[in-house]
Amino acid sequence: MIEAATQGCLSKMAATLPGRQEEQVVYHLRAGEHRIALNERLGEPLNLRWTGAIACTHCGRATKKSFAQGHCYPCFKRLAQCDTCIMKPETCHYFQGTCREPEWGERHCFQPHIVYLANSSGLKVGITRKTQMPTRWLDQGAIQALPILEVDTRQQSGFVEMLFKEHVGDRTNWRAMLKGEVTELDLKTERDRLLAATANGLGQLRSEFGADAIRELDASSSDFHYPVASFPSKIVSHNFDKKPEVSGILQGIKGQYLMLDTGVINLRKFTGYEVSVA
């Protein structure tokens, strides 16, 4: 059981792969220094109460509103990790000399990135740092994922993603994902189709950045299983800003969502919110 005194600022849930692929993803709720195992709480009551406090995840200062998943406004405006180019890598402006934090950019953006296909609510294309596999897929609630290309920089991954987005979406329908309305796909067949459709564009990028800058991968697809006792037939969203207390019977965890019999809540949206957990 969770002690009534368990309290702290939320971080995104920790999701780890089990020892065997057919087993369920293992989740821990993170509130300050506390780590609360959630899989074993399926079918049991869970109560989260926001105290009204929010702390910036970067500098720790108190803030009345959270920006970019847990930042105060000054950090939101100052940090490179909060710039629009993080969401749209193709707009990287490092080489224009206007990167907010050049050293941060060199550490995080100038390293290998993966362009992948995933199946969260249907086929989608995405990008992530190589070191973020499979965390990125678990955070999205993907039931399948397949790395298809490796590139040298985040900006290059954005250019490649733009090519693929002409043929496949890049968003997850979170409602369909939470309802479990997802049909398994043959990701390797989809990969071959998309690589053929984007061959000319990929060739142009290789001419610009170098033949070895964009590398095809012969990877295996991964399957993921989530701890869900029952999927909701109707999606009702909880929001701490509107109702500070969320409680119900925990029915499942998928992506960064808790599924209760009273509704669902995206915990990542409330990063930095101080909550008590019981």
Residue-wise pLDDT tens digits, 221-233: 999 999 999 999 9
Q: What pLDDT does 238 receive? A: 98
Section 126-142 average pLDDT: 97
Section 100-117 average pLDDT: 97
Average pLDDT of the chain, as a whole number: 96
pLDDT in tens, 245-271: 999 999 999 999 999 999 999 999 999
28: which strand partners?
A: 14, 37
**How many CA atoms does the CB half-sphere of 41 hold within 13 Å?**
22
pLDDT in tens, 155-204: 999 999 999 999 999 999 999 999 998 999 999 999 999 999 999 999 99
Please check the confidence at residue 4 and state whether its pLDDT lies above 80.
no
Q: What pLDDT does 19 receive? A: 81
C-alpha span between 146 and 148 (Å, rounded)? 6
Q: What pLDDT does 147 receive? A: 98
- Cis omega (within 30 of 0) for bond into 89: no
Q: How confident is the model at residue 71 (pLDDT cuts 50, 70, 90)?
A: very high
Edge-to-edge strand list for the sheet holding 26-31 = 34-37, 26-31, 7-16, 273-277, 45-54, 245-254, 257-260, 263-266
Section 148-156 average pLDDT: 98
Q: What pLDDT does 5 receive? A: 60
Q: What pLDDT does 22 receive? A: 73
Q: How confident is the model at residue 20 (pLDDT cuts 50, 70, 90)?
A: confident
> What's the CA angle centered on 247, arms 244 and 253, to 5 degrees?
110
117: which strand partners?
A: 125, 146
Distances (CA, A) of 226 to 55, 247, 270: 30, 21, 21
- H-type helices in the chain, by residue range? 73-78, 84-87, 102-108, 135-139, 154-164, 174-179, 187-197, 199-209
